[in-house]
Chain A
Amino acid sequence: MPVAAVVVTFALTAGIVLAAGANPIDAYRQFLITPLQSEFSLLEVLVSMTPLMFTGLAVAFAFRAGYWNIGAEGQLLCGAIAAAWLGQHAGGAPKVLVIPAMLVLGALAGAVWALPPALLRTRFGIDEVVTTLLLNPVALLVVSGLLNGPWRDPVTKFPESPRIAGGAEFPQLVDRSRLHLGFVIALVLAAVLWFVTTKTASGVRLRAVGLSPRGARFARIPVERTLLTAALVSGAVAGLGGVSELAGIQFRLTEGISPGYGYTGVVAATLGGLSMIGVTAAAFFLGLVNVGAGTASRVLDVPTQLGEIITAALLLVAVGLILFRRYRIVRVTA
């Protein structure tokens, strides 16, 4: 399915590429092949992939349980807020202390942000799609409020936080590239979540709840508790994504710290078929498209938004293909 989705998407967007004034074949080569051809750009792809892994894993884990968490964006921002707070107060403390603390705090912040919609769902049956979604702009407003108020950089007067302490910065993994610890953490998370969902009793129960809540309830699986747990884990993982972006790339909190990572995470989760390994691959692909869009716009003079268009089209096509997998079109003769 993912391969088909990619092929169909490219076929569909070829027309847009043409309208933007470029040869589709050239454009797609820039998008997909060129970034892989140099060490630097390959590492940039991994950098781009990192936040998408966090949000993709977070979303996929929740979706697997049947909890439609669309709030990864806000949960990520809360993780970033927590990391920024700790980063500004870390003083001269060493990395080995600060970084684990940031991770814990960031995960907690994400989980806390995920809690209200989860409670509304488990206690009152209120649909979580809307509630998680609506908390996203709220989180952004909190960020905005902080950056225009108590956290405004006293030196530059810009609405961005002061730079975090050195002890709070994620170490670089490779010299002269931006690849940072966050990438490794994301991979570890992917492995852990993969293990939990496929190899543990809790994972089977979680999947049962997602596949058939009534059947799971009948098997005496605590459905509400499972949903709540999935929601909180999902929020925590997204929160970790916020920590990763702040401590690994941005080093200060800004309003633009997340250009929709939470939403792109939904694309990654869907494209990856909700499996942790699939999400990792999808995140790589989306990172590739992201980096490729940058180079394509420079080389071919097409708008950078083309990358976003393709990503969005990918989601729609992937969902459409899922539909065709479930239902066959049958000709009915009267």
Chain B
Amino acid sequence: MRGIVKRFGDTVANDGVDFTVRPGTIHALLGENGAGKTTLMRVLYGLAARDGGEIFVGGGRAEIRSPKDAIRHGIGMVTQHFSLVEPMTVAENVMLGAEGGFRLDLAAARELVAQASERVGIEIHPQVRVDSLSVGERQRVEIVKALSREARVLVLDEPTAVLVPQQVELLFEALRRLREQGLAIVFISHKLREVTAISDEVTVLRRGQVAGTAAIGDVDERELARMMIGRLAAGVRRESASAGGEPVLSVEGLEAEDSRGLPAVRGVSFEVRAGEILGIAGVSGNGQTELAEVLSGLREPTGGTVSVDGEPGRIPEDRRASVVGELSVAYNLVLEDLDSYRRGPMLDERAIRRRADELIERFDIRARATDSVQGLSGGNMQKVLLARVLAHEPKALVVAQPTQGLDVGATEYVRSQLLAQRDAGAGILLISEDLEELLALSDRLVVMYEGELVGSFEAAAADVEEIGALMAGLR
């Protein structure tokens, strides 16, 4: 792939990316979330149309406009979300999309499955229904599917995200066998440990550009981590806060599962004091979402304790799901305190309107009180949520990805509001994937990796390389 460019609106997901994979190698594509890895592979597989650059397969130019073209060129992809039909058997699933003609040739499909599973080195029974297979086994069915289409290039997108350690080892063995057979394998990951364990070559993407390409033997893990995170401006540090007051949010041994029932938060303990911002860094998918949900009251923990001084103010990760889109801005602003606007049995609409206008003014919300919230821009929606939360002047705030998807102006505004709250004595827990944001706002910083907290830093003494290494799973 040469000079690949892919834009989504104003965002450049891939900015002139060069990427080469040789047969008989496992080439890792490493980077944080949002670095552009998945986008790049989606372009390769025809799931996204590129805006610039060229693709060459086996030496010749390849025009790939859909997965069908990609498959024709011998490219197979195993995504994070499997595309298997659960009530059907393995053989039927392998056949789907490649039936070729009117009659179903199940015998041929069984043969294909048998051959492919031999290549992979693990027994896969073609007659078994997919819904009785474990996640690891289903992943192998996906690989078999790709192989049965005579793939010469196999792309795996974060394959270990859904696997437990023993299954990871099995997967790696299968990949090594396939490598011996001359397959070119692309392994997308953000986990350094795995990348160094399995790959021969690695390309690091950062913010849509290639930060570096190397053979595994030639580069050490610290360097890779640095390539992933990059050199961040040492500035953007405001004067360090006071020593911090009483704890306003304490978490002890917290445990929680994700929506699949897998453990996401594994025994997390920390404390947020008044007048300080505690930042939690980490690549998305390491339990931060679940942690934020537990602290916001949206998810029940499976263990541990949480104690908060008063009701915590919450800025949620998914702002669209946290407002009632079809209600007005005014109602959304007062939704939590409707009872205090009652006059007898009726709602005092004028009082609500007055309060709404007040908040719109104070929080610079560019909308009318009567507008329905779903039509607002992301920035204004976030301001509505901010206004609702901050109007109560909470002592503790749980904030998750507050500036995700916001333009520069809205981002500045939200960050300044958070700092203002901190200066007024609130204790803020800030969960963000944006390391720059964390470094700019936090007084203390911890890193979350695979559900646990690793490493704790005073912001002033934060070593970006160290943080990056922890985010990628080192030590």
A binds B: yes
B327 touches A199 (CB 8 A): no
24 residue pairs A–B, Cβ–Cβ below 8 Å: A199-B347, A200-B345, A200-B347, A201-B338, A201-B339, A201-B347, A204-B327, A207-B327, A208-B335, A212-B323, A214-B321, A214-B322, A215-B321, A215-B322, A215-B324, A215-B332, A216-B324, A217-B298, A218-B314, A218-B316, A218-B321, A218-B323, A219-B324, A219-B332
Cβ of B348 to closest chain A Cβ, rounded Å: 10
Q: Is A93's beta carbon under 8 Å from chain B?
A: no
B331 touches A204 (CB 8 A): yes
Q: How far is the CA of A325 from the CA of B298 in the complex (A)?
A: 32
Instruction: Give the residues in chain A near B341, CB-CB below 8 Å.
Output: 201
Instruction: Give the residues in chain B near A212, CB-CB below 8 Å.
Output: 321, 323-326
Q: Is B220's beta carbon under 8 Å from chain A?
A: no
Contacts A199-B346, A200-B346 hold; do A211 and B331 have CB atoms under 8 A apart?
no
A219 touches B347 (CB 8 A): no
B324 touches A208 (CB 8 A): yes
Q: Is A178's beta carbon under 8 Å from chain B?
A: no
Instruction: Give the residues in chain B near A207, CB-CB below 8 Å.
Output: 327
Cβ of A326 to closest chain B Cβ, rounded Å: 11
Chain B 339-352 interface 0/1 with A at a Cβ cutoff of 8 Å (1 = within):
10110011100000
Cβ of A184 to closest chain B Cβ, rounded Å: 22
Question: Known contacts A205-B335, A211-B326, A218-B298; can you find 16 more A-B pairs with CB under 8 A?
Answer: A195-B345, A199-B345, A200-B342, A201-B347, A204-B335, A204-B338, A212-B321, A212-B324, A212-B325, A212-B326, A215-B325, A216-B324, A216-B335, A218-B323, A220-B297, A220-B336
Instruction: Give the residues in chain A near B297, CB-CB below 8 Å.
Output: 220
Instruction: Give the residues in chain B near A195, CB-CB below 8 Å.
Output: 345
| Chain A to chain B: the 9 pairs with minimum beta-carbon distance, closest first | A201-B338, A215-B324, A219-B335, A218-B322, A212-B324, A214-B321, A211-B326, A208-B324, A219-B336
Q: How far is the CA of A276 from the CA of B464 in the complex (A)?
A: 60
Cβ of A21 to closest chain B Cβ, rounded Å: 47
Q: Is B117's beta carbon under 8 Å from chain A?
A: no
Q: How far is the CA of A314 from the CA of B388 in the complex (A)?
A: 42
A188-224 contacts to B, CB under 8 A, are: 195, 199-201, 204-205, 207-208, 211-212, 214-221
Q: How far is the CA of A218 from the CA of B389 in the complex (A)?
A: 11
Instruction: Give the residues in chain A near B324, CB-CB below 8 Å.
Output: 208, 211-212, 215-216, 219
**A205: nearest chain-B partner, CB-CB:** B338
Q: Is B93's beta carbon under 8 Å from chain A?
A: no
Instruction: Give the residues in chain A near B347, CB-CB below 8 Å.
Output: 199-201, 204
A211 touches B327 (CB 8 A): yes
Q: Is B403's beta carbon under 8 Å from chain A?
A: no
Instruction: Give the residues in chain B near A205, CB-CB below 8 Å.
Output: 335, 338
B383-437 contacts to A, CB under 8 A, are: 388
Q: How far is the CA of A169 from the CA of B288 in the complex (A)?
A: 64
Q: Is B296's beta carbon under 8 Å from chain A?
A: yes
**B320: nearest chain-A partner, CB-CB:** A215
B interface, CB within 8 angstroms of A? 296-298, 314, 316, 321-327, 331-332, 335-336, 338-339, 341-342, 345-347, 388
Q: How far is the CA of A119 from the CA of B336 in the complex (A)?
A: 25
A215 touches B323 (CB 8 A): yes
Instruction: Give the residues in chain B near A220, CB-CB below 8 Å.
Output: 297, 336
Q: How far is the CA of A211 from the CA of B325 in the complex (A)?
A: 8
**A216: nearest chain-B partner, CB-CB:** B324
Q: How far is the CA of A138 from the CA of B26 in the complex (A)?
A: 64
**A198: nearest chain-B partner, CB-CB:** B347
**A207: nearest chain-B partner, CB-CB:** B327
Q: How far is the CA of A199 from the CA of B331 in the complex (A)?
A: 12
Instruction: Give the residues in chain B near A219, CB-CB below 8 Å.
Output: 324, 332, 335-336, 388
Instruction: Give the residues in chain A near B332, CB-CB below 8 Å.
Output: 215, 219
**B316: nearest chain-A partner, CB-CB:** A218
Cβ of B52 to closest chain A Cβ, rounded Å: 21
Q: How far is the CA of A221 from the CA of B338 in the complex (A)?
A: 10
Cβ of B340 to closest chain A Cβ, rounded Å: 9
- Of the listed residues B298, B321, B324, B341, the one surrounded by the most CB atoms of chain A closer than 10 A to its CB is B324
**A218: nearest chain-B partner, CB-CB:** B322
Q: How far is the CA of A198 from the CA of B90 in the complex (A)?
A: 55
Q: How far is the CA of A221 from the CA of B336 in the complex (A)?
A: 7
Instruction: Give the residues in chain B near A214, CB-CB below 8 Å.
Output: 321-322
Q: How far is the CA of A214 from the CA of B298 in the complex (A)?
A: 9
**A220: nearest chain-B partner, CB-CB:** B336
Q: How far is the CA of A218 from the CA of B345 in the complex (A)?
A: 24
A201 touches B342 (CB 8 A): yes
Q: How far is the CA of A79 from the CA of B323 in the complex (A)?
A: 38
Cβ of B345 to closest chain A Cβ, rounded Å: 6
Cβ of A38 to closest chain B Cβ, rounded Å: 41
A270-297 contacts to B, CB under 8 A, are: none
Q: How far is the CA of A261 from the CA of B297 in the complex (A)?
A: 42
Q: How far is the CA of A214 from the CA of B339 in the complex (A)?
A: 20
Q: How far is the CA of A68 from the CA of B325 in the complex (A)?
A: 21
Q: How far is the CA of A28 from the CA of B128 in the complex (A)?
A: 60
B327 touches A208 (CB 8 A): yes
Q: How far is the CA of A215 from the CA of B331 in the complex (A)?
A: 12
Q: How far is the CA of A200 from the CA of B296 in the complex (A)?
A: 27
Instruction: Give the residues in chain A near B339, CB-CB below 8 Å.
Output: 201
- Of the listed residues A195, A214, A219, the one surrounded by the most CB atoms of chain B closer than 10 A to its CB is A219
**A208: nearest chain-B partner, CB-CB:** B324
**A212: nearest chain-B partner, CB-CB:** B324
Instruction: Give the residues in chain B near A215, CB-CB below 8 Å.
Output: 321-325, 332
Instruction: Give the residues in chain A near B316, CB-CB below 8 Å.
Output: 218
Instruction: Give the residues in chain A near B338, CB-CB below 8 Å.
Output: 201, 204-205
Q: How far is the CA of A94 from the CA of B203 in the complex (A)?
A: 90
Q: How far is the CA of A162 from the CA of B314 in the complex (A)?
A: 62
Cβ of A130 to closest chain B Cβ, rounded Å: 21
Cβ of B164 to closest chain A Cβ, rounded Å: 28
Q: How far is the CA of A199 from the CA of B314 in the complex (A)?
A: 28
**B388: nearest chain-A partner, CB-CB:** A219
Q: How far is the CA of A211 from the CA of B335 in the complex (A)?
A: 13
Instruction: Give the residues in chain B near A211, CB-CB below 8 Å.
Output: 324-327
Cβ of B452 to closest chain A Cβ, rounded Å: 27
Q: How far is the CA of A212 from the CA of B374 in the complex (A)?
A: 11
Instruction: Give the residues in chain B near A204, CB-CB below 8 Å.
Output: 327, 331, 335, 338, 347
Q: How far is the CA of A237 from the CA of B247 in the complex (A)?
A: 51
Contacts A199-B346, A199-B347, A201-B338 hold; do A218 and B327 have CB atoms under 8 A apart?
no
Q: How far is the CA of A218 from the CA of B388 in the complex (A)?
A: 11
**B297: nearest chain-A partner, CB-CB:** A220
Chain A 115-156 interface 0/1 with B at a Cβ cutoff of 8 Å (1 = within):
000000000000000000000000000000000000000000
Cβ of A141 to closest chain B Cβ, rounded Å: 35
**A217: nearest chain-B partner, CB-CB:** B298
Q: How far is the CA of A182 from the CA of B139 in the complex (A)?
A: 63
Q: How far is the CA of A211 from the CA of B341 in the complex (A)?
A: 21
Instruction: Give the residues in chain B near A218, CB-CB below 8 Å.
Output: 296, 298, 314, 316, 321-323
